[in-house]
Amino acid sequence: MSEAEDHTEEQPIEVLTLPLDAWHRARGGRMVEFAGYWMPVQYEGIIAEHQWTRESAGLFDVSHMGQLFISGDGVEAALEAVLPIDLTTLKPFGPRYSMLLDEHGGILDDLMVTRWNSGFYLVVNGATKWDDIAHLREHLPDEITLTHLEDSALLALQGPKAAEALARITTGEWPLSALTFMKGGQFKIDGVDAWISRSGYTGEDGFEIAVPAEEAARIAELICAQSEVKPIGLGARDSLRLEAGLPLYGHDLSPDHSPVDADLLFAVNKRRRSEGGFIGAEHVLRDLAQGTAQVRVGLALEGRQAAREGAEVYAGNQKVGVLTSGGFSPTLGHPIAMAYVDREQAGEGTALEIDVRGKRLPARITPMPFVPHRYHR
């Protein structure tokens, strides 16, 4: 057999479509590949959509994310062996931020976990969901059932007028206004069953809404029929979460970082810090006791030129870090960024420089969020 005959031509990876694919295209969404799916990056423009969400309400399609339900005898103890969360403190229908860690304490994914009546509902990132499912199945006992809720779409309605718009079309055992930040419940939208939690990833008040995939287009159309609401793409979702100081997996979070240097120690509850007992606990508790060489920080840049992921951070001639996210802040009118920098250089107000194609941009360590959160507590 010749070398040419032995060569197998690589097959292109299929880009999948989401339940709202045709709906996005009909509304003029500019579609791009993201996390293995075609998704809208923008409709009328990123800055316009960003500002609309800050001032009114924007509807995001986040159906690429993985929705999982984990149940069975002993599910709480089994899940605590995998997640660094104290599930005994998790009240019914209250989402909580958590993470999947590897044996070295590195972050495999960040996620939301909610106690439902007979188990736990997890929402994981779209780009990592298949690896997450494999990881969970590997580490959960055989008697624990993991169900991938593939027939469920997920929408996020975000912005100061989100509650007003959604309440108009929602019914339930109690009014939507009874939900405060990080609380959820079962509702109906135009007769369709919907799981709704008051949560999101923009820093604004808002809701995440899980509905049957076959009803997603009708529900999205009904929500966008409210005068306060417009569909919003991935571009504005990224600029909003950056202003809110919220890390993005695959950029600001990765297996190279633990909850300690990522400044996410709040997700490792007090009892778990003392008792351990979760995957990667030994390394996380060591980092907690000894400190880490670097830490995730926020940076405010001078001027108008933005710096992007991968740009190196300097203190004088010494390289002290690398940017993991960066962009122009429409709300603040100047560029902002996140980076991991040497702990000695991580103090608030520290003046640093960011190298962008050989040009040094002045920057200063600043607290996050860059734009204050406006959650409804």
Q: Is 55 part of any domain?
A: yes
Cβ contact 114:198 at 8 Å: no
Domain boundary among 243, 275, 303: 243
The stretch 127-153 carries a mean pLDDT of 98
The stretch 86-101 carries a mean pLDDT of 97
Residues 364 and 299 in one domain: yes
Q: Is 15 part of any domain?
A: no
Q: Is 267 part of any domain?
A: no
pLDDT at 377: 94
Q: What are the angstrom distances between the C-alpha of 121 and each of 67, 100, 131, 146, 195?
A: 7, 14, 17, 10, 11
Confidence of residue 176 (pLDDT cuts 50, 70, 90): very high
Is the pLDDT at 256 greater than 90? The verdict is yes
Residues 51 and 174 in one domain: yes
Residues 156 and 41 in one domain: yes
Q: What are the angstrom distances between the C-alpha of 34 and each of 75, 154, 245, 277, 294?
A: 33, 16, 21, 35, 29
Q: Is 98 part of any domain?
A: no
Is the pLDDT at 1 greater than 90? The verdict is no
The stretch 222-239 carries a mean pLDDT of 98
pLDDT at 220: 98
Q: CATH number, domain at 364?
A: 2.40.30.110
Domain boundary among 214, 243, 272: 243
Residues 157 and 59 in one domain: yes
Cβ contact 111:99 at 8 Å: yes
Residues 50 and 178 in one domain: yes
Residues 59 and 155 in one domain: yes
CB atoms near residue 152 (< 10 Å):
16
- Domain tally, the chain: 2
pLDDT at 10: 58
For 209-229, the pLDDT digits (tens) are 999 999 999 999 999 999 999
Q: Is 188 part of any domain?
A: yes
pLDDT at 12: 66
pLDDT at 9: 53
- Output phi, psi for 254, to 5 deg: -165, 175
The stretch 167-186 carries a mean pLDDT of 96
Domain boundary among 227, 243, 259: 243
pLDDT at 93: 97
pTM summary value: 0.94
Confidence of residue 13 (pLDDT cuts 50, 70, 90): confident
Report the mean per-residue pLDDT for the chain.
96
Paired tokens of 309: 């992921």
Domain housing 316? 294-377
Q: Is 331 part of any domain?
A: yes
Confidence of residue 73 (pLDDT cuts 50, 70, 90): very high
Helical ranges in 157-279 per DSSP H: 162-167, 216-224, 234-243, 270-275
CB atoms near residue 236 (< 10 Å):
27
